[in-house]
Amino acid sequence: MQPSTRRNLLLAGGAAALARPRPARAATTLNVVLESEAVILDPHFTTAAISRTFGYHVFDTLFAMDDSGAIRPQMVDRHESSSDGLTWRFTLRDGLRFHDGAPVTARDCALSLQRWAPRDAMGRLLLAAGAQFEAADAATLVLTLREPFPLVLEVLGKPNAPVPFILPERLARIPGDTRITEIVGSGPFTFRTDLWKPGSSMVLERFDGYRPRPEPASFLAGGKAVKIDQLALHVLPDQATAATALMAGEIDYQQYLPFDLLPRLERARGITLMGLGGLHMFQGNFRLNHAAPPFDDPEVRRVLWHLVDQPAVLQAIGVPGRFAVQRCGSVFMCDSPYESRTGAEALDFSLEKARAALARTRYGGQPVVMLEVQSSISQTASMVLAQNLRAVGFTVEQQVMDWGTVLARRVRKEGWSLFSVYANGIDMISPLTHFYIASTCADYTGWSCDARIPPLLQAFARAPDLAARRTLAEQIQGVAYELTPAVSWGQFTIPAGYRNRLRNLPQSSFPMFWNVEV
């Protein structure tokens, strides 16, 4: 079968499912290909970015971040705090409803936050301050604290996964370590369970009962007015197939364009590329498993600082120079408020130094089991590292799979050593949100722990100003270079691409499909 024929059949399967015209006019459908298939739909269960993307379309939050990084009310109409900072009252907007028609109440919100908080690094800091959520009445949520916590709004409006999305009470009562199977939110789109074809397509439909905020949309905040009827999320074999479908007009949007096809895409008629810098860049990391040999040994872990050649990885991936930071030793992203060089001298690529450092450890030839996502830039990064690992004496076993399988494997303490991944820069700029720092001693993606980090994180959350937080971030980064929870393989931008027929598409590295018109 020719690739174009296979692609058309894949899209046709989704299009057939979408044939659900609304009265008096034809349905408008937006066909998109995202970074991967959304497999875990429980918004509190995982840190996976694809689950967050799904969540922001189907669920809603009390607060949200705008384009400037400020936190603004979303489901909340108004809020106030006591003079001592220990009591907060939040009044919900009128007319909020779940997709099943039930009104959103303060009790739904209280139970949702209680479910979410223990599974999130910033949520756990809030709990450590004695946070208790209660409903004073149907529209009023009350937060009481044992001690002041200056970042209350930042926690409730953070865009970092897992996001504090609001669920109906019956779902919020399900323990956080058990996935919900009924997907009901109050966001701008509904999830059509009956049209879901795992491995092929997923359909989100405009929720006619959603009431957007009156102000203009700004990043994740403001008025989310849905102007399409259906959003079809297609699963295609690889990025190149998706890019070909984009150029042929068979899909409308592709989240991640393959770097080797950028010249063709830039010349293609009817396509706009979205390449954003700053906080919309990405940070790539090799996440290490501290629970199993050989990386249960901190000395063996630290050998990797000599084995990751950031410019070589970015070159192998094919990142054009204008889309990359060639060398970045800051754990919290270069060109960010908490950029630091503390400890960064350890990031020193040298096969000779790595070979000598490995010889000084107790490494006994145990295999480094690398989980690789097939046909991804993460896999390319892994291949570069695998070559360097073998060159200095490591035994390496590369296992190729899809991202969903990686997510399932990483929750186990055995059977893997590292996986390659990249994350939105907005997730990695702060000690409180950086996946591999914020969850130290309470995380299942690498089982890493250094007892010095949690108190520093608590001090960071209570720090009175940016200067104090910067000092603490430097201390945390110094510990992280000793702990080695992950090793960065680069900072870069991945352009998205979309058909010119789309109007008012939000310009963001987060895929967002409210306000867009076809």
**pLDDT score for 21:** 46
Answer yes or no: are the C-beta atoms of 437 and 450 closer than 8 Å.
no
- Which phi and psi (to 5°) does residue 71 adopt? -95, 125
pLDDT at position 54 over 80: yes
**pLDDT score for 450:** 97
**pLDDT score for 14:** 46
Q: Which of 432, 428, 430 is nearest to 486 (CA)?
A: 428
Over residues 198-224, the mean pLDDT reads: 97
- Strands (E) in 107-200, as ranges, are 132-137, 140-144, 189-191
Answer yes or no: are the C-beta atoms of 383 and 286 closer than 8 Å.
no
End-to-end CA distance of the chain: 32
- How far apart are alpha carbons 54 and 48 in whole angstroms? 10
**pLDDT score for 257:** 95
- 294 upstream amide cis, omega within 30 of 0: yes
Residues near 192 by Cβ (< 8 Å), separated by ≥ 6? Answer: 202, 203, 204, 205
pLDDT at position 8 over 70: no
What number of helices (H) and strands (E) belong to the chain? 17, 19
- How far apart are alpha carbons 453 and 455 in whole angstroms? 6
pLDDT at position 26 over 70: no
pLDDT at position 5 over 50: no
Residues near 455 by Cβ (< 8 Å), separated by ≥ 6? Answer: none
- How far apart are alpha carbons 301 and 481 in whole angstroms? 10
- Mean pLDDT score of the chain: 93
Using alpha carbons, list the distances in angstroms from residue 20 to 23, 109, 205, 396, 398: 10, 33, 10, 51, 44
pLDDT digit string, tens, across residues 184-197: 999 999 999 999 99
Answer yes or no: are the C-beta atoms of 489 and 381 closer than 8 Å.
yes
- How far apart are alpha carbons 476 and 460 in whole angstroms? 10
Q: How confident is the model at residue 431 (pLDDT cuts 50, 70, 90)?
A: very high
Over residues 345-356, the mean pLDDT reads: 97
Answer yes or no: are the C-beta atoms of 63 and 74 closer than 8 Å.
yes
Element (H, E) at 64: strand 63-65
Answer yes or no: are the C-beta atoms of 50 and 36 closer than 8 Å.
yes
| Structure-block tokens of residue 200 | 């092929």
Q: Which residues of 43-69 are buried (b: 16+ CB within 10 A; e: fewer)?
A: bbbbbbbbbbbbbbbbbbbbbbbbeee
- How far apart are alpha carbons 97 and 114 in whole angstroms? 20
Amino acid identity at 271: I
- How far apart are alpha carbons 416 and 238 in whole angstroms? 24
What is the pTM assigned to this prediction?
A: 0.82
pLDDT digit string, tens, across residues 124-160: 999 999 999 999 999 999 999 999 998 999 999 999 9
**pLDDT score for 2:** 40
Q: Which of 161, 212, 121 is nearest to 41 (CA)?
A: 161
Amino acid identity at 304: L
- Strands (E) in 244-293, as ranges, are 253-254, 271-274, 282-288
Residues near 412 by Cβ (< 8 Å), separated by ≥ 6? Answer: none
**pLDDT score for 7:** 47
Residues near 222 by Cβ (< 8 Å), separated by ≥ 6? Answer: 64, 66, 72, 213, 215, 216
pLDDT at position 218 over 50: yes
Q: How confident is the model at residue 25 (pLDDT cuts 50, 70, 90)?
A: low
Q: How confident is the model at residue 4 (pLDDT cuts 50, 70, 90)?
A: very low
Q: How confident is the model at residue 28 (pLDDT cuts 50, 70, 90)?
A: very high
pLDDT at position 281 over 60: yes
